[in-house]
Chains A and B, each alone.
Chain A
Amino acid sequence: MYTSLLERHRRGRKLIEITENLCKGCEICIEFCPLKVFEKSDKLNRKGYYLPVVTDEDLCVGCRLCELLCPEFAIIITNE
């Protein structure tokens, strides 16, 4: 998805952090992020779950849906 520089500036910087060892690979964040910010990676965590990865942090609008839907407290969104 294309986002103009102006649009990115308007949205402000968002920080997306994933606590990898809390993740159980349910992929709910990947499916339900309205801007499709996440994608499945081929990286495994300590428990053997495939982790989500952030494709483009600039797409994020900071709605926190992923943070709240996550059953594991594994996603942290900071609106800077």
Chain B
Amino acid sequence: MSEPRHRLMDFVREEIMPHRFCSGCGCGTVLNAFTNAVEGLGLDSAEMVCVSGIGCSSWIPSPYFRADTLHTTHGRPIAFATGVKILRPDLTVVVIAGDGDVAGIGGNHLIHAARRNIDLSVFMVNNMIYGMTGGQVAPTTPAGVVTTTTPHSNVEPPFRVADLVVAAGASYVARWTTYHVFPLLESMQNAIKRKGFSFIEIMSQCPENYGRRIGLRTGIDFLKQFKEQALRVEKANGMSEEELKDRIVIGKLCDKERPEYVSELHRITREQVDKLKKEMGGAA
């Protein structure tokens, strides 16, 4: 008997499905939300470039999403994406990668891309761990957690990455979880449409290399916890650090217009070229 075919198979590399993410992993749900977002926007994937780094989350765009993709080195997708956007401002450039990639080794690229307000959409899958390499501590791992590199528990407080990106100057920032799939999908669409640097921190699950060390063995366990921990940003405003401990603040954290780096760069280049042409014309 032939099997039914999902309409979104047009957007993924069907020939290599099922993907290799573990059972219940959030990466598959992020891929699902992302393809829904692209379908809903009516984007032509020939006019998109997806860029990723190294890690399980980096496999979401490459190889699974059917578009031109750059699978780059660990921590560097934003740097590569910046190059693509400067040369081809007409293309929609999306970065999808993990917390270790984007906020750990690639943290410096992240804050400077936000400061410059480069027209990219960065979707960071925050599973609070280095999943692919077996569960080492990440700068997003909560304090007190035992990982392979913090065998007596992690003493470091985690980065709140979305807040960091707001402070660095991004145009659009939001945080959602893999439980909040409908608002996540809509937020991805808004992030792509927004000119300037857009960032979504997607709290996600790695049941295999994180969950089993903290007693959350399945995707279901994580989704239940995300549902419980989630607090809308409108409610969280004005609450104390203590009250927000162990909560995940979800929603849109900022959405504003600011001069965008690539158009500013091209504007100034054009001005200089015109000036030079005029000067040379005058000399001749």
Which residues of A are interface residues toward B (Cβ below 8 A)?
A: 17-22, 24-28, 31-32, 47, 49, 65, 68-74, 76
Contacts and interface: CB of A to CB of B under 8 A. Distances in A.
Contact of A26 (B3, B17, B23, B33): B23
Interface string B1-28: 0011111110010000111011111111
Interface of B: 3-9, 12, 17-19, 21-29, 31-33, 36, 178-179, 181-182, 185, 218-220, 223-224
A71 B25 contact: yes
A72 B219 contact: no
Contact of B33 (A22, A24, A47, A68): A68
A28 to B, nearest CB: 6
Contact of B32 (A21, A26, A73): A73
Contacts of B224: 31
B230 to A, nearest CB: 14
Given A22-B17, A68-B32, A70-B32, A28 B3 contact: no
Most buried by B among A18, A24, A73: A73
Given A31-B220, A70-B32, A24 B24 contact: yes
B181 A26 contact: no
Contact of A76 (B6, B36, B219): B6
18 contacts: A19-B5, A21-B3, A24-B24, A26-B23, A26-B219, A27-B24, A27-B218, A28-B24, A47-B18, A68-B33, A69-B181, A71-B25, A72-B18, A72-B19, A73-B6, A73-B8, A74-B6, A76-B4
Nearest to B5: A19
Given A21-B18, A26-B24, A73-B6, 6 more contacts: A19-B5, A28-B219, A31-B220, A71-B24, A71-B32, A76-B6
Contacts of B4: 17-19, 76
Given A24-B18, A71-B21, A76-B6, A32 B28 contact: no
Nearest to A71: B28
Nearest to B28: A71
B3 A19 contact: yes
Nearest to B7: A76
